[in-house]
Structure 1
Amino acid sequence: MKSLKVLFAALALCTGAAHAAGASVTTEHVRAELLAHAPDGVAAGKTVWVGLQIKHQPEWHTYWKNAGDSGLPTQLQWTLPAGVTAGDIAWPIPVKIPIGNLANYGYEGTVLLPVPLTVSPDFKPSVLKSDLEVKLKANWLVCRKECIPEEGEFVLNVPTKSSTAVNGAAFDAALAKQPKPLSTPNEVVVDGQQLKVKVTGLPDAVRGKQLEFFPEVAEVIETGAPWTQEWKANVWTAVVPLSAQRSQSPAALPFVVAVGDNGWRTEPKVTGTWPALTAAAPAQISPALAEALRSAAQPAPAAPSLTLGLAMLFALLGGLILNLMPCVFPVLAIKVVGFTKHADDTRGHRVAGLSYTAGVVVSFLALGGLMLALRAGGEQLGWGFQLQSPVVIALLAALFTVIGLNLAGLFEFGTFLPSAVAGYEARHPVMNAFLSGVLAVAIASPCTAPFMGASLGFAIGLPAVEALLVFGSIGIGMALPYLAASWVPAVARLLPRPGAWMDVFRKLMAFPMFATVAWLVWVLGQQAGIDGAGALLVLLVAMAMVIWAFTLQGRGRTVVGALSVATLAALAWGMGPSITQQPPAKATTAAAQGPWQPWEPGRVDQLLASGQPVFVDFTAAWCVTCQYNKKTTLADGAVLADLTGKNVALLRADWTRRDPAITAALAQLGRSGVPVYVFYRKGAPPIVLSEVLGVEEVRSAIAKL
C-alpha cells in the first residue's frame, strides 16, 4: 500500500493539468475556488481564514487527510508575504466511500478546506498595494470510476483595511463540521491482529447510535473490512481489524468518530504490542486507480519510434492516400470537369493547381493550429474534431446538397444568383481553386488514412512550429496528385475532347454528392439520434424546394419562392433544435452489438485483471476507414473465430461525438484520431495495429496473445 501512495504522488506530479492563476479553476470534474474570510480585516491578532472550496460533479470525490485504501489527500502550498504564515488544513469530517472490498475517506458534493492565517506584527502591507496577496498552488486527485490528478494555481487579494465576510456562511458551515476535541481519557489497545478502541465523554445525544471510525494515520487498519462496535452505558467500544499490509506502528493513534456532520477527535496512546510488520504484498487497487496509474506510467507506444522527418514522410503518404477516400472523390471530380473545359490552357492549369494546393495546405494548417490552441487551453480534442459537431455536419450536408442539385441540372448559379456573384468563378478562377481545396479538406480531414495516425499523435506532442510542419505535410500529400497533373501537359492531352459527354459526366457526378449527403445524415443520426437525422432530411428537402422555386419565372417565382422560404424558416425554427440535441444515453452510448461491448474508462483493466485479453476498436461514424474495416476485416469469420478461441473481450469506443475519456485513451496510445485498433494483454504493452486492417494482420496479432 505504501508503494501505491508513492505511485500516486508520482502520478500527480507527472500528469496533473496546470491551470492559469486566478481565484477559481474549473475542470470537467470539479470547480475549485480560493475563498477568504476576514470579518475584522487583516491585522496582527485578527482572525483570518482562507480555504479551497471544491465543488464536485455528481459521483466524483476527493480525499481526506487519510485517503484510506487508495488515493491522495488534497495538498495546499501557500505563498504568503513576510509576517503571514499558514496553519494546517482544518479538515471537515469525511465520508466513507466503499470501492469493492476496499474503502476510501473523502468528500463528495461541495467541501471547503479552511486554513487559518497567522498575521504577526512583522506584516507590513505595501504602500502601493495594501491588500494581502494570497497565492496557492493546490493538487487534488478526483475519482469516480477513473481517477484524474488535477492542480490549480490561485491568487486572491484580501483587503487589509476593510472586512471580508461575504464567504462567512461557507466558512461557518465548514468549521461547524470540524470534529470537536475530547478531553476524556480514551484507549487504543493492540490485541493480536486487531485494535480494541474505547471512547468516553461522547454527548448523551449520540449514545446508542452507530458511529463511523476515521483513523488519521494511514495504512494501519483494514479500511474496507467489517468491524464491530457497541455501547456499554456511556462508553463506546469498537474492534477494528489491522491491515495485512500494515506499514506503521504508531505510538499514538489520533482518530475521529462521527455520526453525520457531528464528530469528535481524540489522540490516545496505543498500548499493547504491535505485530511484526510483514513484507509488503503487491498492492490490490481498484481498476479505476489502475487506469490512472497505467496512463501516467506508460509512454505513448508510437511516439518514441518517430522522428520529425519520418512523421512528415508518413503524413505526406497519408495525405496521398486521402485522395482515394470516397468523401474526397466528388470534389476531385469537379476539378476534372474543369480540366476538360480548358484542356489547352497550360498556364491556367498550373495556376489552378498551385491555388488548389494552397487551399489544401492552408486549411490543414488552420485545422491543426486550431486543435493545438484548443488543446493548450485544456480542451480534450483529437483530429477530426470538426465532424464531432452536429452543426458542422448539417452545414456540410446542406453544401453538398446544393452542389449536387447544381450538377444534376436543377439550377445554374448564373441564373440563380445575382450576376455579380454568379460571375465570380469566371472572374476569379484562382480563388475558386483555392476554395475547392478548402472544401476538400473540410470533408477529408477525418478520414485518417494509413501512416497518418502515428504522425498526428506524434505531432500533438511537438512544439507548435514542428507540429504544423506535420499538418502541412498532410496537405501537400493530399494536393500532390492534382498539382502534378496541372503541371504535366501530357495529362491534359489524355483527356477526351469537350462534347456532349461532359453534360452526362457532370450529372453523373451529382450522385457521389448525394451519396455523401446520405453519409452525413447517417453520421448526424449517430450523434443526435433518429429525430436529428429526420429533422436534417426535412430541412434539406425544404432547402431544395427553395432552390427550385427560385428557378421559376414571373409571378410564380415570387409567390412560390416566398412560400418556400417561409416554410423553410418555420421548419428550421421548429425542427432545428433536434439537430443539435443530445439524444438519450442509450442512443449515444455504444450499445452492445453481438460480441462487442461499449468501452468505458477502467473497463480494460477490469477485464485484464480477470486474465482475459482485450481488443478495442476506437471508431466514429464519420470515419469512412472505420466503417470499411468494420464491414470487412472485423466481420471476417476467421477473425471472429480466432477471437472467440482466445476468449478475447471485444470493446468498441465510439468517438462520433466528443468524448474526453476516449480522447485521453487515444493520447495514451500516441494517437489523435480514429481508427485505432489495440490488443491488450496482462503484463505486456498494448499492440497497436494499422489503420486499414488486414485479416492476416489481425490473426497474426491474435496468435501472439
Structure 2
Amino acid sequence: MRARSLPLLAVLCAFLALLMHDVATAQARPNHIAARLVAEGPVRPGQPLTLAIAFTPEPGWHGYWKNPGDAGYGLTLKWKLPPGWQAGEPQYPVPQRLVIGGLMNHVYEGPYAVLIDVEVPSSAAAARPAPIAVDAQWLACTDQICVPEQARLTLDLAQVQPGAQFDRWRAAIPALIDRAASFASEGGRLRIAIPLPATLAKPDLHVFLEQRDLVRYAAVQTFAAEGDLLIAEIPLAAGAGRPQTMSGILALGNGEGVRFSAVPGPVPTGGVPLKTGDRQAGPIWLLLLGALAGGLLLNVMPCVFPILSLKALSLARAGESDAQARAEGIAYTAGVLLATLALGVLLLVLRSAGEMVGWAFQLQEPAVVVALLVLASAITANLAGVFHLPSLSLTRGGQPAGAFATGLLAAFVATPCTGPFMAAAMGAALLLPWAQALLLFGALGLGLALPFLLLGFLPPLRRLLPRPGPWMERFRRAMAVPMGLTVAALAWLCWRLGGASFAVGAAILALLTIAALAALWQGANRRTALAGLSAGLAVTMAVALPSLVAPPASATEGVLPARPFSEATLASARAEGRPVFVWFTADWCLTCKVNERAAIEREATRKAFEKAGVVALVGDWTRRDPAITRFLTRHGAAGIPLYLWYAPGGEAQVLPQVLTVDSLVSLAEGSPQAGP
C-alpha cells in the first residue's frame, strides 16, 4: 500500500468507528417510552390468556393510538409464541387529542396499557410453559421532536403473579356496543348514527375512527341526540373512499368511551344538538356579558329601527315625574324580559322535540308575519289619529301598560337579528342546560331594556330629554311615518313568504282590522263591531290566509353571481381548490340587507371575486330550512347574518357580522388564487 493512501484510510476508519459508537450508544440509550410485557394470570390450557404491554412515557413525551391522526404511526407487534398459540388484535384505551400547527394527533400522554388476548391451545404445558416474546416498535414524540423506538419484550410465564393492575387496565378499555351503528356520506360529511342511551353522560364527545385518511381529523365534529341514538357528523377528507364497514371509539369525556362498528345505512336528520369539547361555550359569566352587550347593541341595529318611534314616545313621556318614569322603565323591562324568555323557552322546546329552528324562527312563519302586519297597521293608524284606543296608546300617561306593550313588541321584532357579541351567547344557549340558556335569554332582554331602565331610575339622564309639551302630539303623528314603512316592509315580507295572493289577503285583513277599530272607537254599536272583528279575524286566519300561501318567491339575481347553498355544493366548490364565500341571509333580516347593499352586491366585489376565482354561495333562510339550521348550529350560530370565508384547502373563517365596504374585496385580493 502506498504511503500517501494511509491518511485517507485512517480517516475512513475513524469515521466508521464513530458511526459504530453512535449506533451502540443509540442501542444502549433507554427509550423515552418504557414498555414491559405483563400477563394477567398463569397459563390455563384451552383458555385465553390476556397479556398487556404497559407503556410509561417520560414527562412531555407521548405515544400513539392505532390510527395516529394527521402524523405519526401506531404500535406494531411481531410475536414469538409457542406453536399453536395465537395473538389477537390489540385493545386500546380511549386516546387523547393533540393539535399542533393545525394537525390533530391521537395520542397517549400518560401511562397506558394495550391489552392482547392470546389463544392458548389445550395441548399447552401448564406446569412449565415456554417463555413468550414480542418485538414491538412505536413512535415517541414531544411537541418538538419524534424518535422511533423499539424493544424486545419477554415474559417467563412460569413466574407470573396475578396483580390488581389488570383491573385498572381492563376498565380503561372501552366496551363494544352490542348493536351495529350505521353511516352515510352526504354533502362532504360522514354521518354516523350510534346507538347510545340518552341518559348516558356525554361531557366531551369525539369520534376516533380506525380507518385512515377517511375524515379531516382536525375539523370540528358535531353531535345531536335523537332518543337513544347519537348522530355524529364529521367532514370527509379530500378524496376519501367509500368503506363497506368502519369501526372506532366514541369518546364520552373524562377518559370514558365506547367502541362501535358501523355498516352503511340510513342516518336520521335533526335531533337535539349537543355541546362538544371542540365547541366549548366558554365561561358562563363571559357569555352573560356577551348577551347583555348584544342586547344593548340591538337598540342601534338596523333590525330595530322600525320600532324606534315607539321607543321615542316612551322616552318623551319618561320626563313627567319620577314615579311615572320608574314605573314605565320597570314595565318596559318586564315586557322585554317576558318576550325574550318566552321566545327562548319556545325555541328550546321546539329543538328538544327535534325541530331544526333558529333564533329567528318567529319571522319564518307566515302567520306570525301576518299578525305583526295587523298589529303594525293598527299602531300606525293609532299614531296617525284615526282612532285612539287605550290598549294601543303606547304613550298613555301614568299607565305602565303602554311601556309594557312597547317592550313586548320591541323584543319580538328586534331579536331575530343577531348582532355583535350576541352571536356566541345565543349559539351557546342552544347547547347549554336549560337554566343557563334561560339566563342568557334574560341577559339579552336586560341589555335591550337597559337604556329605558336607566332613564327611569336616573333623573340626570331624564333631564337631558326635551320637556313634555304640545310638541308631543305632533311628534306622535309624525312617528306614524316610520311605522307605516314598517307596515310596507311586513307586507313585502308576506309576499316573499307566501306569494302575491297571500300578501293581498294579509293587507285586506289589516284594513278590516283598522276599520273595525275605528268603528269601535267612534262608539257605533261597539259590541257589534267587536264581535264582527273577532269573527272576521278568526275566519280569515283559520280559513282564508293559510289556503293562499304559495311557495316562497324565487330570489332575484344580484350583482354578485352566487349559487344556492347546500353542503354538497359547498364540498364541491372547496374540492375545486378555489376560495369560497358563503353568506346566509333572509328577507326579514335588515342587517343582512344592509351588508348586502354595502359590501356584497357591489361591482367592485364582483370584479375582485371574478379575478380571484372565488365561488360565492348564498343560503336563503327566509323560510325555515332544516339543512341551513343544522349548518348554522354546527358553526355555533343561532341566527343570521353568518358570513364564512374558505381559503383554498383551509377551514371556515367566520367573518364579522357587520361587513365593511371593502372587506370582501381585501379577502379576494389576498387570496392565493388572486392574480398579480
Q: TM-score, normalised by structure 1?
A: 0.54
Q: Determine if the alignment matches structure 1 residue 476 to structure 2 residue 518.
A: no
Aligned residue identity for 2:240: A
Give the 3 Å change call, closer, same or farther, for CA 537–466 of structure 1 in structure 2.
same
Aligned residue identity for 2:326: R
Q: Determine if the alignment matches structure 1 residue 400 to structure 2 residue 369.
A: no
Where in structure 2 are the equivalents of 1:20-39 lying within 5 Å?
none
Decide whether the 8 Å contact of 2:347 with 2:358 is kept in 1. yes
Pick from 599, 604, 608 the counterpart of residue 565 of structure 2: 599
Decide whether the 8 Å contact of 1:315 with 1:452 is kept in 2. yes
Structure 2 gaps of 5+ residues are 1-66, 69-176, 199-213, 215-236, 244-263, 672-676
Pick from 452, 456, 460 the counterpart of residue 422 of structure 2: 452
Give the 3 Å change call, closer, same or farther, for CA 424–355 of structure 1 in structure 2.
closer
Decide whether the 8 Å contact of 2:579 with 2:647 is kept in 1. yes
Decide whether the 8 Å contact of 1:591 with 1:598 is kept in 2. no
Pick from 639, 653, 663 the counterpart of residue 629 of structure 2: 663
Match for residue 27 of structure 2?
none
Mapped to 2, the partners of 1:437 and 1:652 lie a distance apart of 33
Match for residue 535 of structure 1?
505
Match for residue 210 of structure 1?
none
1:193-224 Cα offsets, whole Å, 9 max, x none, are xxxxxxxxxxxxxxxxxxxxxxxxxxxxxxxx
Match for residue 550 of structure 1?
520
Q: Determine if the alignment matches structure 1 residue 387 to structure 2 residue 379.
A: no
Decide whether the 8 Å contact of 1:620 with 1:655 is kept in 2. yes
Pick from 447, 459, 467 the counterpart of residue 497 of structure 1: 467
Pick from 368, 381, 384 the counterpart of residue 344 of structure 2: 368
1:254-285 Cα offsets, whole Å, 9 max, x none, are xxxxxxxxxxxxxxxxxxxxxxxxxx995346
Mapped to 2, the partners of 1:283 and 1:510 lie a distance apart of 60
Where in structure 2 are the equivalents of 1:616-695 lying within 5 Å?
616-695=582-661
Q: Determine if the alignment matches structure 1 residue 410 to structure 2 residue 386.
A: yes
Using the TM superposition, give the Cα deviation of residue 540 of structure 1 relative to its aligned residue in structure 2, in angstroms. 1.5
Helix, strand or coil at the partner of 1:349: helix
Mapped to 2, the partners of 1:152 and 1:300 lie a distance apart of 18
Mapped to 2, the partners of 1:574 and 1:374 lie a distance apart of 25
Give the 3 Å change call, closer, same or farther, for CA 154–680 of structure 1 in structure 2.
closer
Pick from 539, 546, 556 the counterpart of residue 577 of structure 1: 546
Match for residue 477 of structure 2?
507
Using the TM superposition, give the Cα deviation of residue 486 of structure 1 relative to its aligned residue in structure 2, in angstroms. 1.8
Aligned residue identity for 2:517: I
Helix, strand or coil at the partner of 1:550: helix
Aligned length: 431
Structure 1 gaps of 5+ residues are 1-5, 8-134, 156-244, 246-279, 415-420
Helix, strand or coil at the partner of 2:582: strand
Match for residue 24 of structure 1?
none
Decide whether the 8 Å contact of 2:496 with 2:587 is kept in 1. yes
Pick from 407, 431, 447 the counterpart of residue 461 of structure 1: 431
Mapped to 1, the partners of 2:443 and 2:557 lie a distance apart of 39
1:213-266 Cα offsets, whole Å, 9 max, x none, are xxxxxxxxxxxxxxxxxxxxxxxxxxxxxxxx9xxxxxxxxxxxxxxxxxxxxx
Give the 3 Å change call, closer, same or farther, for CA 424–477 of structure 1 in structure 2.
closer
1:163-191 Cα offsets, whole Å, 9 max, x none, are xxxxxxxxxxxxxxxxxxxxxxxxxxxxx
Helix, strand or coil at the partner of 2:499: helix
Match for residue 525 of structure 1?
495
Aligned residue identity for 2:332: Y
Give the 3 Å change call, closer, same or farther, for CA 350–574 of structure 1 in structure 2.
closer
Give the 3 Å change call, closer, same or farther, for CA 479–596 of structure 1 in structure 2.
same
Decide whether the 8 Å contact of 1:302 with 1:670 is kept in 2. no
Decide whether the 8 Å contact of 1:590 with 1:653 is kept in 2. no
Aligned residue identity for 2:382: N
Mapped to 2, the partners of 1:406 and 1:472 lie a distance apart of 31
Match for residue 443 of structure 1?
413
Give the 3 Å change call, closer, same or farther, for CA 153–631 of structure 1 in structure 2.
same
Aligned residue identity for 2:591: T
Using the TM superposition, give the Cα deviation of residue 610 of structure 1 relative to its aligned residue in structure 2, in angstroms. 1.8
Using the TM superposition, give the Cα deviation of residue 522 of structure 1 relative to its aligned residue in structure 2, in angstroms. 1.8
Decide whether the 8 Å contact of 1:545 with 1:564 is kept in 2. no
Match for residue 313 of structure 2?
337
Q: TM-score, normalised by structure 2?
A: 0.57
State the identity %. 37
Where in structure 2 are the equivalents of 1:45-124 lying within 5 Å?
none
Decide whether the 8 Å contact of 1:535 with 1:578 is kept in 2. no
Using the TM superposition, give the Cα deviation of residue 394 of structure 1 relative to its aligned residue in structure 2, in angstroms. 0.7
Where in structure 2 are the equivalents of 1:47-446 lying within 5 Å?
139-141=181-183, 148-150=191-193, 283-284=240-241, 303-304=279-280, 306-329=282-305, 331-341=307-317, 343-413=319-389, 429-446=399-416
Give the 3 Å change call, closer, same or farther, for CA 667–341 of structure 1 in structure 2.
closer
Match for residue 184 of structure 1?
none
Using the TM superposition, give the Cα deviation of residue 541 of structure 1 relative to its aligned residue in structure 2, in angstroms. 2.0
Using the TM superposition, give the Cα deviation of residue 566 of structure 1 relative to its aligned residue in structure 2, in angstroms. 8.0
Helix, strand or coil at the partner of 2:659: coil
1:322-360 Cα offsets, whole Å, 9 max, x none, are 111355345453344344446241122123212322322
Mapped to 1, the partners of 2:387 and 2:421 lie a distance apart of 41
Match for residue 666 of structure 2?
700
Using the TM superposition, give the Cα deviation of residue 537 of structure 1 relative to its aligned residue in structure 2, in angstroms. 1.5
Aligned residue identity for 1:507: R
Mapped to 2, the partners of 1:374 and 1:561 lie a distance apart of 34
1:112-167 Cα offsets, whole Å, 9 max, x none, are xxxxxxxxxxxxxxxxxxxxxxx996743466767654466899xxxxxxxxxxxx
RMSD: 3.9
Give the 3 Å change call, closer, same or farther, for CA 148–443 of structure 1 in structure 2.
same
Decide whether the 8 Å contact of 2:313 with 2:395 is kept in 1. no
Using the TM superposition, give the Cα deviation of residue 626 of structure 1 relative to its aligned residue in structure 2, in angstroms. 0.5
Mapped to 1, the partners of 2:183 and 2:556 lie a distance apart of 30
1:539-589 Cα offsets, whole Å, 9 max, x none, are 22222222333344658x89999988887777667641245x3x34xx456
Using the TM superposition, give the Cα deviation of residue 593 of structure 1 relative to its aligned residue in structure 2, in angstroms. 4.0
